[in-house]
Chain A
Amino acid sequence: LAKTTQPISMDSYEGQEVNITCSHNNIATNDYITWYQQFPSQGPRFIIQGYKTKVTNEVASLFIPADRKSSTLSLPRVSLSDTAVYYCLVGGTDKLIFGTGTRLQVFP
């Protein structure tokens, strides 16, 4: 399964847009890209999933370039409650391989 690389941590302020980029150079043709959010002592929460181009839902947008070797999760106008760990995963969704994630800290 494709290995992902994402920043260990990011800081932001309330109201700003946050973009977290994930590299997955070895992504396979059939792999999807999925992002999860996790708060301390809770299970990961599904945010968004995509295969190519752009996907948008009520929570976030996911940008995937044509070569699919990277992806960017965009969180519009973050709030304090968005402080969490964000995981980028690639692969079939039957067996999720988590990395260490990106710890996002939002300040007032």
Chain B
Amino acid sequence: DAGVTQSPTHLIKTRGQHVTLRCSPISGHKSVSWYQQVLGQGPQFIFQYYEKEERGRGNFPDRFSARQFPNYSSELNVNALLLGDSALYLCASSLSHRKETQYFGPGTRLLVL
């Protein structure tokens, strides 16, 4: 079975640009969560979506947004990129939004210059 997939694997942007990251959950999983991991730190929760609705949001500015599609895949959008947005962006999927094990994808490495 395919695990969580993310695209692209790597991305280079400049300050002020916007970026869209994509995630496909494990087949049958209906919940997708996004995390940001800065070098040397643990992942930080950004969003959780379940059945196309936002179920949770971490302490991130409004420049960060996301959505979930009918096939349960998801996009994370970041506007007006800052140097500090450079990080590994991780997507995790789970069966539902309640007390289910989350399985992570390989991440998208974003570098903002």
Interface residues of A (CB under 8 A from B): 32, 34, 36, 41-46, 49, 87, 92-101
Cβ B103 vs Cβ A46 within 8 A: yes
Given pairs A43-B4, A43-B91, 19 additional interface contacts (CB within 8 A): A41-B88, A41-B107, A41-B109, A43-B105, A44-B43, A87-B42, A92-B99, A94-B31, A94-B56, A94-B94, A95-B48, A95-B58, A96-B33, A96-B35, A96-B43, A96-B45, A96-B102, A98-B35, A100-B41
- Report the nearest B residue to A36, measured CB to CB: B104
Indicate the member of A45, A94, A97, A98 with the most B CB atoms within 10 Å. Answer: A94
Per DSSP, chain A at the interface is loop
Q: In the bound complex, what is the Cα–Cα distance between A46 and B48 (angstroms)?
A: 18
Q: In the bound complex, what is the Cα–Cα distance between A96 and B33 (angstroms)?
A: 9
Which residues of the other chain, A, contact B92 by a CB distance below 8 angstroms? 43, 96
Q: How distant is B89 from chain A, measured CB to nearest CB, in Å?
A: 10
Nearest first, the 3 closest Cβ-Cβ pairs linking A and B are A98-B42, A43-B104, A98-B43
Mask: chain B, 1-28; 1 = CB below 8 Å from A; 0 = not: 0001000000000000000000000000
Cβ B106 vs Cβ A43 within 8 A: yes
Known contacts: A44-B90, A46-B101, A94-B55. The answer to whether A99 contacts B48 by CB under 8 A is no
